[in-house]
Structure 1
Amino acid sequence: MNERIKAAREARVLAQNNDTAVLSTISKKLQGYPFGSVSPFMLSAEGQVVFYVSDIAQHARNLSVDNRLSITVFDAAESGDQNTHGRLTLTGNARPLGDKSLGELYFRRFPSALSYRNAHDFKFWQMDAEHVRYIGGFGKIFWINPAEWLLPEPQWHSADALQMIQHMNDDHADACGLILRHQKAEFRNYAGTVEMSSIYPDGFHLVADERSIFIPFETDCATAGEIRKQLVKMTHDARQSAAA
Protein backbone atom coordinates (compact mmCIF):
# COMPACT_ATOMS: atom_id res chain seq x y z
CA MET A 1 0.00 0.00 0.00
CA ASN A 2 1.52 3.31 -1.05
CA GLU A 3 1.90 6.23 1.33
CA ARG A 4 -1.04 8.22 0.00
CA ILE A 5 -3.50 5.33 0.10
CA LYS A 6 -2.29 4.50 3.60
CA ALA A 7 -2.92 8.11 4.64
CA ALA A 8 -6.40 7.98 3.09
CA ARG A 9 -7.23 4.85 5.07
CA GLU A 10 -5.94 6.43 8.27
CA ALA A 11 -8.10 9.47 7.53
CA ARG A 12 -11.18 7.25 7.08
CA VAL A 13 -10.53 5.56 10.41
CA LEU A 14 -10.23 8.98 12.05
CA ALA A 15 -13.59 9.96 10.55
CA GLN A 16 -15.18 6.67 11.63
CA ASN A 17 -13.92 7.09 15.18
CA ASN A 18 -15.65 10.46 15.49
CA ASP A 19 -19.43 10.81 15.47
CA THR A 20 -19.50 14.62 15.42
CA ALA A 21 -18.07 17.16 12.99
CA VAL A 22 -17.84 20.93 12.65
CA LEU A 23 -19.92 21.91 9.61
CA SER A 24 -18.84 25.19 8.02
CA THR A 25 -21.29 26.82 5.62
CA ILE A 26 -21.52 30.17 3.82
CA SER A 27 -23.78 32.31 5.99
CA LYS A 28 -26.91 33.76 4.44
CA LYS A 29 -27.64 35.95 7.47
CA LEU A 30 -24.04 37.19 7.78
CA GLN A 31 -23.68 37.93 4.06
CA GLY A 32 -21.06 35.37 3.13
CA TYR A 33 -19.06 34.97 6.31
CA PRO A 34 -18.15 31.36 7.17
CA PHE A 35 -20.50 29.90 9.78
CA GLY A 36 -19.53 26.92 11.91
CA SER A 37 -21.92 24.51 13.57
CA VAL A 38 -21.66 21.06 15.16
CA SER A 39 -23.59 18.03 13.93
CA PRO A 40 -23.52 14.24 14.13
CA PHE A 41 -22.51 12.65 10.84
CA MET A 42 -21.69 9.32 9.32
CA LEU A 43 -20.03 8.08 6.16
CA SER A 44 -21.76 6.18 3.39
CA ALA A 45 -20.22 2.82 2.46
CA GLU A 46 -18.10 4.55 -0.17
CA GLY A 47 -17.11 7.48 2.04
CA GLN A 48 -19.51 10.34 1.31
CA VAL A 49 -20.67 12.44 4.28
CA VAL A 50 -24.25 11.96 5.51
CA PHE A 51 -25.97 14.11 8.14
CA TYR A 52 -29.51 14.70 9.42
CA VAL A 53 -30.63 18.22 10.27
CA SER A 54 -33.70 20.39 10.62
CA ASP A 55 -34.64 22.85 7.89
CA ILE A 56 -34.64 25.60 10.52
CA ALA A 57 -31.01 24.97 11.52
CA GLN A 58 -28.68 27.75 10.39
CA HIS A 59 -26.43 25.43 8.41
CA ALA A 60 -29.43 23.90 6.59
CA ARG A 61 -30.71 27.38 5.73
CA ASN A 62 -27.28 28.35 4.47
CA LEU A 63 -26.97 25.21 2.35
CA SER A 64 -30.34 25.86 0.74
CA VAL A 65 -28.84 29.07 -0.71
CA ASP A 66 -25.20 28.06 -1.23
CA ASN A 67 -24.52 24.34 -1.00
CA ARG A 68 -20.76 24.56 -0.53
CA LEU A 69 -19.80 22.80 2.69
CA SER A 70 -16.69 22.00 4.68
CA ILE A 71 -16.64 19.54 7.54
CA THR A 72 -13.84 19.19 10.08
CA VAL A 73 -13.21 16.14 12.26
CA PHE A 74 -10.45 15.83 14.82
CA ASP A 75 -9.22 13.66 17.66
CA ALA A 76 -9.53 15.83 20.76
CA ALA A 77 -6.44 15.89 22.94
CA GLU A 78 -7.08 14.95 26.56
CA SER A 79 -3.90 16.81 27.46
CA GLY A 80 -0.84 18.30 25.79
CA ASP A 81 -0.59 19.79 22.31
CA GLN A 82 -3.71 19.42 20.14
CA ASN A 83 -1.55 19.87 17.03
CA THR A 84 0.04 16.46 17.56
CA HIS A 85 -3.34 14.77 17.02
CA GLY A 86 -5.04 13.88 13.75
CA ARG A 87 -7.54 16.12 12.00
CA LEU A 88 -9.42 15.92 8.76
CA THR A 89 -11.25 18.41 6.57
CA LEU A 90 -13.54 17.41 3.71
CA THR A 91 -15.15 19.90 1.34
CA GLY A 92 -17.74 19.52 -1.37
CA ASN A 93 -21.29 20.30 -2.40
CA ALA A 94 -24.16 19.15 -0.20
CA ARG A 95 -27.61 18.09 -1.38
CA PRO A 96 -30.76 16.74 0.26
CA LEU A 97 -31.03 12.98 -0.11
CA GLY A 98 -34.06 11.89 -2.11
CA ASP A 99 -33.24 8.23 -1.45
CA LYS A 100 -33.93 7.51 2.22
CA SER A 101 -32.21 4.09 2.16
CA LEU A 102 -29.37 5.40 4.29
CA GLY A 103 -31.84 6.59 6.92
CA GLU A 104 -32.20 3.29 8.78
CA LEU A 105 -28.43 2.87 8.86
CA TYR A 106 -28.15 6.36 10.29
CA PHE A 107 -30.74 5.60 12.99
CA ARG A 108 -28.85 2.41 13.84
CA ARG A 109 -25.73 4.50 14.43
CA PHE A 110 -27.63 7.32 16.20
CA PRO A 111 -30.71 5.82 17.93
CA SER A 112 -31.50 9.11 19.67
CA ALA A 113 -32.17 10.65 16.24
CA LEU A 114 -35.27 8.47 15.93
CA SER A 115 -37.10 11.00 18.07
CA TYR A 116 -36.63 13.56 15.28
CA ARG A 117 -38.10 11.35 12.56
CA ASN A 118 -41.65 12.53 13.22
CA ALA A 119 -40.56 16.15 12.92
CA HIS A 120 -41.31 16.92 9.29
CA ASP A 121 -38.63 19.56 8.95
CA PHE A 122 -35.74 17.10 9.42
CA LYS A 123 -34.07 15.68 6.34
CA PHE A 124 -30.97 13.78 5.33
CA TRP A 125 -28.19 15.50 3.43
CA GLN A 126 -25.16 14.12 1.64
CA MET A 127 -21.92 15.89 0.84
CA ASP A 128 -19.85 14.34 -1.92
CA ALA A 129 -16.23 14.74 -0.89
CA GLU A 130 -14.31 16.68 -3.54
CA HIS A 131 -11.28 17.78 -1.52
CA VAL A 132 -9.77 16.01 1.50
CA ARG A 133 -7.08 17.44 3.76
CA TYR A 134 -5.61 15.03 6.33
CA ILE A 135 -3.05 15.89 8.99
CA GLY A 136 -1.97 12.89 11.04
CA GLY A 137 0.40 14.90 13.24
CA PHE A 138 3.57 16.92 12.70
CA GLY A 139 5.00 16.33 9.22
CA LYS A 140 2.19 13.98 8.17
CA ILE A 141 0.16 16.21 5.87
CA PHE A 142 -1.72 15.16 2.74
CA TRP A 143 -4.15 16.48 0.16
CA ILE A 144 -6.11 13.35 -0.72
CA ASN A 145 -8.12 13.17 -3.93
CA PRO A 146 -11.60 11.58 -4.11
CA ALA A 147 -10.29 8.49 -5.92
CA GLU A 148 -7.96 7.83 -2.97
CA TRP A 149 -10.58 8.64 -0.34
CA LEU A 150 -13.56 6.73 -1.70
CA LEU A 151 -14.01 2.97 -1.66
CA PRO A 152 -15.75 1.09 -4.49
CA GLU A 153 -19.48 0.60 -4.06
CA PRO A 154 -19.94 -2.73 -2.23
CA GLN A 155 -22.07 -5.56 -3.59
CA TRP A 156 -24.77 -5.09 -0.97
CA HIS A 157 -27.51 -2.58 -0.21
CA SER A 158 -28.56 -0.78 2.96
CA ALA A 159 -31.14 -3.48 3.74
CA ASP A 160 -28.42 -6.14 3.50
CA ALA A 161 -26.20 -4.17 5.89
CA LEU A 162 -29.05 -3.90 8.39
CA GLN A 163 -29.61 -7.67 8.19
CA MET A 164 -25.92 -8.36 8.81
CA ILE A 165 -25.91 -6.03 11.81
CA GLN A 166 -29.09 -7.58 13.23
CA HIS A 167 -27.73 -11.10 12.71
CA MET A 168 -24.55 -10.28 14.62
CA ASN A 169 -26.51 -8.74 17.50
CA ASP A 170 -29.11 -11.53 17.67
CA ASP A 171 -26.87 -14.56 17.14
CA HIS A 172 -23.28 -13.51 17.76
CA ALA A 173 -23.30 -10.93 20.54
CA ASP A 174 -20.59 -12.96 22.29
CA ALA A 175 -18.36 -12.59 19.21
CA CYS A 176 -18.84 -8.82 19.25
CA GLY A 177 -17.66 -8.75 22.86
CA LEU A 178 -14.68 -11.01 22.13
CA ILE A 179 -13.58 -8.87 19.19
CA LEU A 180 -13.88 -5.62 21.15
CA ARG A 181 -11.87 -6.95 24.09
CA HIS A 182 -9.21 -8.32 21.76
CA GLN A 183 -8.94 -5.23 19.56
CA LYS A 184 -9.12 -2.46 22.16
CA ALA A 185 -6.92 -2.62 25.25
CA GLU A 186 -9.13 -0.19 27.20
CA PHE A 187 -11.97 -2.74 26.96
CA ARG A 188 -9.85 -5.78 27.84
CA ASN A 189 -11.78 -6.42 31.05
CA TYR A 190 -15.14 -5.07 29.88
CA ALA A 191 -18.03 -7.39 30.80
CA GLY A 192 -21.00 -5.29 29.68
CA THR A 193 -23.20 -5.44 26.59
CA VAL A 194 -21.58 -4.98 23.17
CA GLU A 195 -23.63 -4.36 20.02
CA MET A 196 -22.75 -3.83 16.38
CA SER A 197 -24.15 -0.58 14.98
CA SER A 198 -22.68 -0.39 11.47
CA ILE A 199 -20.99 -2.40 8.75
CA TYR A 200 -18.65 -0.98 6.11
CA PRO A 201 -16.35 -2.47 3.46
CA ASP A 202 -13.39 -1.53 5.66
CA GLY A 203 -14.76 -2.19 9.17
CA PHE A 204 -17.66 -1.84 11.59
CA HIS A 205 -18.78 0.02 14.69
CA LEU A 206 -19.35 -1.59 18.07
CA VAL A 207 -21.18 0.17 20.89
CA ALA A 208 -20.12 -0.46 24.49
CA ASP A 209 -20.42 1.63 27.64
CA GLU A 210 -22.25 4.31 25.59
CA ARG A 211 -19.24 4.64 23.29
CA SER A 212 -19.01 3.93 19.57
CA ILE A 213 -15.79 2.21 18.52
CA PHE A 214 -14.70 1.56 14.93
CA ILE A 215 -12.94 -1.75 14.29
CA PRO A 216 -11.13 -1.89 10.92
CA PHE A 217 -11.01 -5.05 8.82
CA GLU A 218 -7.62 -6.42 7.78
CA THR A 219 -8.66 -6.09 4.13
CA ASP A 220 -11.57 -4.36 2.41
CA CYS A 221 -14.69 -6.44 1.79
CA ALA A 222 -16.71 -6.14 -1.41
CA THR A 223 -19.28 -8.83 -0.59
CA ALA A 224 -21.26 -10.06 2.40
CA GLY A 225 -19.35 -13.35 2.16
CA GLU A 226 -16.04 -11.54 2.55
CA ILE A 227 -17.40 -9.71 5.61
CA ARG A 228 -18.46 -13.03 7.13
CA LYS A 229 -14.96 -14.47 6.60
CA GLN A 230 -13.35 -11.44 8.24
CA LEU A 231 -15.68 -11.59 11.25
CA VAL A 232 -15.12 -15.34 11.66
CA LYS A 233 -11.34 -14.84 11.57
CA MET A 234 -11.47 -11.93 14.01
CA THR A 235 -13.63 -13.98 16.39
CA HIS A 236 -11.26 -16.96 16.11
CA ASP A 237 -8.22 -14.76 16.78
CA ALA A 238 -9.96 -13.17 19.78
CA ARG A 239 -10.87 -16.57 21.25
CA GLN A 240 -7.33 -17.81 20.84
CA SER A 241 -5.96 -14.70 22.51
CA ALA A 242 -8.43 -14.99 25.41
CA ALA A 243 -7.46 -18.63 25.96
CA ALA A 244 -3.72 -17.99 25.89
Structure 2
Amino acid sequence: MQQPNPIRPTDDEARRLAQGLLHEARFAALATLNGSGVPTLARVAFGTDEQGRPLLLVSDIAAHTQAVLANPACALLVGEPGDKGDPLTHPRLTLEGRATTLDKTDTLRARWLHDHPKSKLYIDFADFRFLRIDVDRGFLNGGFGKAYDLTPGDLGLGSPRRRTQA
Protein backbone atom coordinates (compact mmCIF):
# COMPACT_ATOMS: atom_id res chain seq x y z
CA MET A 1 0.00 0.00 0.00
CA GLN A 2 1.40 3.39 -1.02
CA GLN A 3 1.82 6.00 1.72
CA PRO A 4 0.17 9.39 1.10
CA ASN A 5 2.54 12.22 0.17
CA PRO A 6 3.18 14.32 3.30
CA ILE A 7 4.06 17.37 1.18
CA ARG A 8 1.06 19.63 0.71
CA PRO A 9 0.38 21.57 -2.49
CA THR A 10 1.98 25.00 -2.15
CA ASP A 11 -0.62 27.71 -1.56
CA ASP A 12 -0.58 31.46 -0.87
CA GLU A 13 -0.57 30.93 2.90
CA ALA A 14 2.59 28.80 2.63
CA ARG A 15 4.20 31.41 0.35
CA ARG A 16 3.41 34.23 2.80
CA LEU A 17 4.74 32.28 5.77
CA ALA A 18 7.96 31.33 3.93
CA GLN A 19 8.54 34.86 2.66
CA GLY A 20 7.95 36.23 6.16
CA LEU A 21 10.51 33.84 7.66
CA LEU A 22 12.99 34.75 4.93
CA HIS A 23 12.70 38.51 5.36
CA GLU A 24 12.42 38.63 9.16
CA ALA A 25 15.42 36.39 9.85
CA ARG A 26 18.61 38.02 11.13
CA PHE A 27 20.47 34.77 11.77
CA ALA A 28 20.52 31.37 10.10
CA ALA A 29 22.21 28.00 10.32
CA LEU A 30 24.52 27.49 7.34
CA ALA A 31 25.25 23.93 6.18
CA THR A 32 28.40 23.35 4.11
CA LEU A 33 30.64 20.46 3.22
CA ASN A 34 34.16 20.58 4.64
CA GLY A 35 37.24 19.51 2.68
CA SER A 36 36.63 15.88 3.64
CA GLY A 37 33.04 16.02 2.38
CA VAL A 38 31.60 15.96 5.90
CA PRO A 39 28.56 18.21 6.47
CA THR A 40 29.08 20.98 9.01
CA LEU A 41 26.84 23.69 10.45
CA ALA A 42 27.49 27.24 11.62
CA ARG A 43 25.32 30.06 12.92
CA VAL A 44 25.68 33.07 10.60
CA ALA A 45 24.31 36.60 10.32
CA PHE A 46 21.56 36.67 7.69
CA GLY A 47 19.84 39.30 5.59
CA THR A 48 18.42 39.82 2.11
CA ASP A 49 19.39 41.92 -0.88
CA GLU A 50 17.07 44.27 -2.79
CA GLN A 51 15.62 41.31 -4.71
CA GLY A 52 14.96 39.36 -1.52
CA ARG A 53 17.83 36.92 -2.06
CA PRO A 54 19.65 35.63 1.04
CA LEU A 55 22.84 37.42 2.10
CA LEU A 56 25.49 36.45 4.60
CA LEU A 57 28.33 38.52 6.06
CA VAL A 58 31.16 36.10 6.79
CA SER A 59 34.83 36.14 7.74
CA ASP A 60 37.42 34.49 5.51
CA ILE A 61 39.06 32.93 8.58
CA ALA A 62 35.89 30.99 9.50
CA ALA A 63 35.83 27.31 8.57
CA HIS A 64 32.34 27.63 7.06
CA THR A 65 33.52 30.43 4.76
CA GLN A 66 36.49 28.39 3.60
CA ALA A 67 34.18 25.42 2.99
CA VAL A 68 31.63 27.37 0.94
CA LEU A 69 34.37 29.07 -1.10
CA ALA A 70 35.80 25.63 -1.96
CA ASN A 71 32.35 24.16 -2.67
CA PRO A 72 29.56 26.75 -3.07
CA ALA A 73 26.75 24.21 -2.58
CA CYS A 74 25.09 24.98 0.75
CA ALA A 75 21.85 25.11 2.69
CA LEU A 76 20.38 27.57 5.17
CA LEU A 77 17.84 27.08 7.92
CA VAL A 78 15.88 30.14 9.12
CA GLY A 79 13.18 30.37 11.76
CA GLU A 80 13.46 30.55 15.51
CA PRO A 81 11.95 27.91 17.80
CA GLY A 82 10.11 30.43 19.99
CA ASP A 83 9.93 30.63 23.76
CA LYS A 84 6.96 28.36 24.41
CA GLY A 85 5.82 24.92 23.47
CA ASP A 86 7.52 22.26 21.42
CA PRO A 87 10.23 23.86 19.21
CA LEU A 88 9.33 21.45 16.41
CA THR A 89 5.88 23.03 16.05
CA HIS A 90 7.36 26.43 15.10
CA PRO A 91 7.74 27.24 11.39
CA ARG A 92 11.14 26.98 9.73
CA LEU A 93 12.44 27.33 6.21
CA THR A 94 15.28 25.41 4.57
CA LEU A 95 16.92 26.94 1.51
CA GLU A 96 19.22 24.98 -0.80
CA GLY A 97 21.49 26.72 -3.27
CA ARG A 98 24.93 28.01 -4.14
CA ALA A 99 26.97 30.81 -2.61
CA THR A 100 28.36 33.66 -4.71
CA THR A 101 30.85 36.25 -3.43
CA LEU A 102 29.70 39.87 -3.81
CA ASP A 103 31.62 43.12 -3.82
CA LYS A 104 31.12 45.14 -0.65
CA THR A 105 29.33 48.11 -2.25
CA ASP A 106 28.11 51.16 -0.32
CA THR A 107 24.50 50.20 -1.09
CA LEU A 108 24.93 46.64 0.14
CA ARG A 109 26.83 47.82 3.22
CA ALA A 110 24.11 50.36 4.11
CA ARG A 111 21.35 47.79 3.62
CA TRP A 112 23.17 45.32 5.86
CA LEU A 113 23.83 47.88 8.59
CA HIS A 114 20.14 48.89 8.60
CA ASP A 115 19.26 45.40 9.88
CA HIS A 116 22.54 44.55 11.67
CA PRO A 117 23.79 47.79 13.27
CA LYS A 118 26.22 46.01 15.62
CA SER A 119 28.14 44.65 12.64
CA LYS A 120 29.47 48.18 12.12
CA LEU A 121 32.27 47.07 14.46
CA TYR A 122 33.67 44.58 11.89
CA ILE A 123 31.94 44.99 8.51
CA ASP A 124 34.92 46.90 7.09
CA PHE A 125 37.57 44.41 8.24
CA ALA A 126 39.53 43.12 5.23
CA ASP A 127 38.63 39.48 5.95
CA PHE A 128 34.84 40.07 5.86
CA ARG A 129 32.85 39.52 2.69
CA PHE A 130 29.26 39.23 1.54
CA LEU A 131 27.90 36.02 0.11
CA ARG A 132 24.62 35.81 -1.76
CA ILE A 133 22.86 32.46 -1.77
CA ASP A 134 21.28 31.73 -5.14
CA VAL A 135 18.38 29.53 -4.07
CA ASP A 136 17.49 26.46 -6.13
CA ARG A 137 14.66 25.26 -3.89
CA GLY A 138 13.08 25.75 -0.50
CA PHE A 139 11.31 23.54 1.98
CA LEU A 140 8.87 25.00 4.48
CA ASN A 141 7.88 23.20 7.62
CA GLY A 142 5.03 25.41 8.75
CA GLY A 143 4.34 23.36 11.88
CA PHE A 144 2.93 19.89 12.47
CA GLY A 145 1.59 18.43 9.21
CA LYS A 146 2.37 21.55 7.16
CA ALA A 147 5.23 20.68 4.79
CA TYR A 148 5.73 22.39 1.42
CA ASP A 149 8.27 22.31 -1.41
CA LEU A 150 8.95 25.83 -2.68
CA THR A 151 10.46 27.31 -5.82
CA PRO A 152 12.46 30.56 -5.88
CA GLY A 153 9.30 32.15 -7.34
CA ASP A 154 7.24 30.95 -4.36
CA LEU A 155 9.79 32.71 -2.13
CA GLY A 156 9.50 35.97 -4.07
CA LEU A 157 13.18 35.90 -4.98
CA GLY A 158 14.28 38.27 -7.69
CA SER A 159 11.46 40.74 -7.09
CA PRO A 160 12.53 44.15 -5.76
CA ARG A 161 11.67 44.55 -2.08
CA ARG A 162 11.26 47.77 -0.17
CA ARG A 163 12.79 48.20 3.25
CA THR A 164 10.46 48.69 6.17
CA GLN A 165 11.45 51.18 8.78
CA ALA A 166 12.62 49.66 12.04
Residue 91 (structure 2) aligns with: 86
Residue 15 (structure 2) aligns with: 8
Q: Please state how far the C-alpha of 1:99 moved relative to its aligned partner.
A: 6.0
Residue 60 (structure 1) aligns with: 65
Conserved? CA contact 2:77–2:94, under 8 Å: yes
Residue 133 (structure 2) aligns with: 127
Question: Residue 13 and residue 114 in structure 1: after superposition, are their counterparts in 2 closer, same or farther (change >3 A)?
Answer: same
Residue 117 (structure 1) aligns with: 123
Match of 2:76 among 48, 54, 71: 71
Matched residues, number: 157
Conserved? CA contact 1:87–1:134, under 8 Å: yes
Structure 1, gaps ≥5 residues long:
155-199, 207-244
SS in 1 for 2:88: helix
RMSD of the alignment, in Å? 1.9
Alignment partner of 1:204 is 2:164: yes
Conserved? CA contact 2:53–2:158, under 8 Å: no
- Inter-partner Cα distance in structure 2 for 1:71 and 1:118: 24
Structure 2, gaps ≥5 residues long:
1-8
Q: Which one-letter code corresponds to 2:25 in the other structure?
A: N
SS in 2 for 1:148: coil
Question: Residue 27 and residue 11 in structure 1: after superposition, are their counterparts in 2 closer, same or farther (change >3 A)?
Answer: same
Question: Residue 148 and residue 88 in structure 1: after superposition, are their counterparts in 2 closer, same or farther (change >3 A)?
Answer: same
- Inter-partner Cα distance in structure 1 for 2:25 and 2:165: 11
Runs of 4+ in 1 over 6 A off after TM superposition: none
Bigger-Rg structure (1/2): 1
Q: Please state how far the C-alpha of 1:77 moved relative to its aligned partner.
A: 2.9
Alignment of 1:19-168 (within 5 A): 19-28=26-35, 31-98=36-103, 100=105, 101-154=107-160
Structure with greater proportional helix content: 1
Conserved? CA contact 2:10–2:148, under 8 Å: no
- Inter-partner Cα distance in structure 2 for 1:205 and 1:140: 31
The percent of aligned pairs where both chains have the same amino acid is 28
- Inter-partner Cα distance in structure 1 for 2:31 and 2:165: 26
Q: TM-score, normalised by structure 1?
A: 0.60
Q: TM-score, normalised by structure 2?
A: 0.86
